[in-house]
A and B are shown apart, each in its own frame.
Chain A
Amino acid sequence: MKSFSIGDHRFQSRLFVGSGKYADYDQMLAAWDASGTDCVTVALRRVDLDHQAEKRNLLDVIDRERYTILPNTAGCYTEDDALRTARLARELGLGDLIKLEVIADEQTLLPNAAATVRATDVLAKEGFTVLAYTNDDPVSARQLEEAGAAAVMPLGAPIGSGLGILNPTNIRIILDRANVPIVVDAGVGTASDVAVAMELGADAVLLNTGIAMADDPVLMARAMGLACEAGRAAYLAGRMKKREYASPSSPRAGRIHE
């Protein structure tokens, strides 16, 4: 499969996969392997002062030759918290990539688009390669691009909901007008959701819960990877036009009753 780029970063797979909610690291690594991904998201949190000693650190289990690490600012409800988290991620040696989230509301986890635009502007000027998480809204997608986002990541549906691509029309409009890669992020519940996003022309899909919360995460990871490739191929192939009435696949001429 042809590689693609976000900023200076090249990726072989168009599926980005999270590292949250797995039963253990072994299951997570097996799922990543099955998905074919080469970019994984991680979060930053305070070191647990009471229990850190017995825990293996996530950085100890990620093969950085194989996987690009994409840190996120998940759980940040203010622009300031998101900026601090991004800078801490860079200080951790994770490079300039940041999945920027500024969340507006705990129940919906929907993004605060205005604050995300402001934070994108600041981080882009500081040299970050910003992948900006946002609503399925063509206006905020354009604003993020203008603010310096290297990629815009409209949601398919709320984080962790598994509802799929709720507004394919808006995703299509975002794709039509974009000059940066578009990564559909969040809400992907199963393989067909990935295929829908890729058939619309998305450059990539990012998901976590759809794999981690499947009954068999490793098998679902494989399904997601296959759907990503299938959807991309279908997009490139160019689907047939839809029509209201049937059109026979076999010739009308030469039928035996004629």
Chain B
Amino acid sequence: MNITLNGQEKSVEPGTKIGSLADSVVSDRSRIAVEQNRVIVPRDDYDSVDVADGDVIEIVTLVGGG
């Protein structure tokens, strides 16, 4: 199935959880926040929330800024 992750089209396996998607892009979950279709996914729910076909997912972190 296909999703949009951080603005990029991605193909992911059916049954993928938010947690495994997050682990595929960062090594430390405490450094990110995740939004699925504009709704925040609490960190405690990463391993229980499914990624669905067509999802728009944002994974953000901190960067330098003023």
What residues of chain A have their CB less than 8 Å away from a CB belonging to chain B? Answer: 18-22, 28, 41-47, 49, 52-53, 57-60, 69, 71-72, 74, 84, 87-89, 91-94, 159-160, 186, 206-209
Contact = CB atoms under 8 A, between A and B. Distances in A.
Contacts of A72: 65-66
Contact of A43 (B25, B30, B32, B64): B64
A102 B42 CA distance: 25
Contacts, number: 102
Given A57-B28, A91-B40, A22 B64 contact: yes
A59 B66 contact: no
A21 B64 contact: yes
A139 to B, nearest CB: 25
A91 B42 contact: yes
Contacts of B59: 46-47
B58 A46 contact: yes
Interface size range on B against A: 20 to 34
Interface of B: 5-8, 25-28, 30-35, 38, 40, 42-43, 58-66
A22 B8 CA distance: 28
B58 A57 contact: no
Residue among A19, A69, A91 with most chain B CB within 10 A:
A91
Contact of A91 (B8, B43, B65): B43
Given A47-B32, A84-B38, A58 B6 contact: no
